[in-house]
Amino acid sequence: MWAAMVLKLAAGLQVYRPHTMKRAAPWDEQVDVISSDDSSSPDMEMESVNECDSKQSDTNITFDQPDKEITPEGALARRAEMYQDYMKQIPIPSNRGSVIPFTSWTGLGKSIKQLYGQPLHYLTNLLLKQWDQLRIGSEEEYRPLDTIIHPCKAEATIWLVEEVHRQTSSHHHVANLWLKDPMHHASIDAIFPQLRSKS
């Protein structure tokens, strides 16, 4: 008896309970509900179900379903896209001129972040680490870097590279690097400057 009274939800029909009542359906028509007393026959129940089916055949009901599953790689690509969009919005400081003493590229990068209150791009942070690694084994390895390269030139170089990374880097490239480096968070600065509103 219950099997005849329960309509498929996937077809967009309501589940009917064994009560005698009329109820307004979403399409503003009255639907007779079958009683559960012994006087009803299975044939009458099927007739009522078929009548309901024919009334609703004109109504198309769709269910919201995600277009596709979100994979971890897809989520990471989306985060990289959001990161790149955010970094594009941060303006490169125009008022520079302080002389920052430094002994390494990463040390200069850290000082720049503190002085200007801005993050450096993930790719810039990687590049500064690479530049420091290039010095290992050279004759000048232990010499302070600001005695080799003038601090103003070094700072200008970092800002130039930063501008290239902020404005022209592909979020796909960033996402691919993040996929290969499970510790990529360590090279993303947790500095969030106030962005100017676009008005």
For residues 10 and 105, the model is more confident at 105
pLDDT 10s digits, 15-46? 344 444 444 444 444 545 554 455 445 555 55
Residue 57 lies in a domain: no
The CA distance from 166 to 85, in Å, is 8
Q: What percentage of the chain carries pLDDT values higher than 90?
A: 48
Instruction: Please compute the mean of the pLDDT values over residues 167-185 and round it to a whole number.
Output: 92
Residue 60 lies in a domain: no
State which residues form the domain around 115. Answer: 71-193
Residue 123 lies in a domain: yes
Pairing of strands 30-32, 22-24: antiparallel
pLDDT 10s digits, 50-75? 555 555 545 555 555 555 677 878 88
pLDDT 10s digits, 150-167? 999 999 999 999 999 999
- Number of folded domains that form the chain: 1
Residue 113 lies in a domain: yes
Residue 41 lies in a domain: no
Is residue 15 classed as helix, strand or coil in its secondary structure? strand
The answer on pLDDT for 124 being more than 90 is: yes
Residue 95 lies in a domain: yes
The answer on pLDDT for 179 being more than 50 is: yes
Residue 141 lies in a domain: yes
Average pLDDT over the chain, rounded to an integer: 75
Count other Cβ atoms within 10 Å, centred on residue 44: 13
Residue 38 lies in a domain: no
CATH number for the domain harbouring residue 87: 1.20.120.690
**pTM listed for this prediction:** 0.62
Taking the C-alpha atoms of 24, 29, 34 and 39 in order, what is their torsion angle to the nearest 10 degrees? 130
pLDDT 10s digits, 1-14? 333 333 332 333 34
The CA distance from 78 to 103, in Å, is 37
